[in-house]
Amino acid sequence: MTVSDESPFRGKSVMVVGGSRGIGAAIVASFAAAGATVRFTYAGSRDAAEALATSTGSIAIHGDAADRDHLLASVREAGVLDVFVYNAGLLESGDPLTLDPDAVDRLIDVNVRGPYHAFVEAARRMADGGRIIAIGSVHGDRMPFSGFTAYGMSKSALQGLARGLARDFGPRGITVNVVQPGPTDTDMNPADGPLVQRMHDEMAIRRHGTAEEVASLVRYLASPPARGITGAMHTIDGGFGA
């Protein structure tokens, strides 16, 4: 694939935590197609990660985002980053009275502790004007279903994280934003899954979004015209939260 000489991402350094499948893989492919040098981490999906690395020319790094030492080491190894995206996320659903507390703690490790520590570490060596983006969820704003408390809590936490870090890093021109998808067709939430009708009933545009649509929004937030957008939540949910 040829990349336009005018692509703002040509030669830029991008890292995506959790990039082997779904939305993360679409983000990796989008930045790679725009000429960036892209690294991404993955935990379980080695075959998918290796295939993506080969097809996009990106670099796959094996490691669990819940392992803070490994996560921070992989951020440090990336060197000076222009764009850092934390996409990895776990979903645990069920009655909070019976949900396994260890599973809830792991969700918090991956969905909240990981982004906090990784964003701080990325910012240490990020170029001025760099971009930090968390993949949150419309459930950070709105929860019309029972059984998703821990997940919703974790995505709301990203909002406070982005608002705070936007202030902390704003003097360096670094922006910090959250992209909040609604139902999006991936392994986590397949468009033919059991809850589809309930989800679509909540939407103005009654279809699952695509990972590529979410990746387009991420890429816009990382682009030069978005330099004044920070500390903000960007919902792409087919009107689920309207």
- Per CB under 6 A, residues contacting ligand NDP are 18-24, 41-45, 49, 64-66, 87-90, 110, 135, 137, 181, 183-184, 186-189
Nearer to ligand NDP among residue 5 and residue 69 (C-beta): 69
CB 223 to ligand NDP: min, Å? 20
CB 92 to ligand NDP: min, Å? 11
CA distance 227 to 184: 27
Please identify which of the residues 42, 86, 116, 151 carries the catalytic annotation. Answer: 151
Nearer to ligand NDP among residue 8 and residue 64 (C-beta): 64
Nearer to ligand NDP among residue 2 and residue 197 (C-beta): 197
CA distance 130 to 146: 38
CB 231 to ligand NDP: min, Å? 19
Number of residues that make up the chain: 242
Query: Can you give the three-state secondary structure of 67-136, one letter per residue?
Result: CHHHHHHHHHHCCCCCEEEECCCCCCCCCCCCCCHHHHHHHHHHHHHHHHHHHHHHHHCCCCCCEEEEEC
Written as one string, the DSSP assignment of 178-219 is EEEE-SB-SSSS-TTSTTHHHHHHT-SS-S-B-HHHHHHHHH
Nearer to ligand NDP among residue 19 and residue 130 (C-beta): 19
CA distance 33 to 202: 34
CB 39 to ligand NDP: min, Å? 13
What is the chain's alpha carbon radius of gyration, rounded to the nearest angstrom? 17
Q: Tell me whether residue 116 is one of the annotated catalytic residues.
A: no
Nearer to ligand NDP among residue 9 and residue 86 (C-beta): 86
| Two tokens, residue 122 | 């990325």
CB 49 to ligand NDP: min, Å? 6
The CB-side HSE value for 13 (13 A sphere, CA atoms) comes to 15
**Residues near 209 by beta carbon (within 8 Å), at least 6 away in sequence:** 181, 182, 183, 184, 185, 236, 237, 238
| Two tokens, residue 19 | 């990039």
Catalytically active residues, by annotation: 151
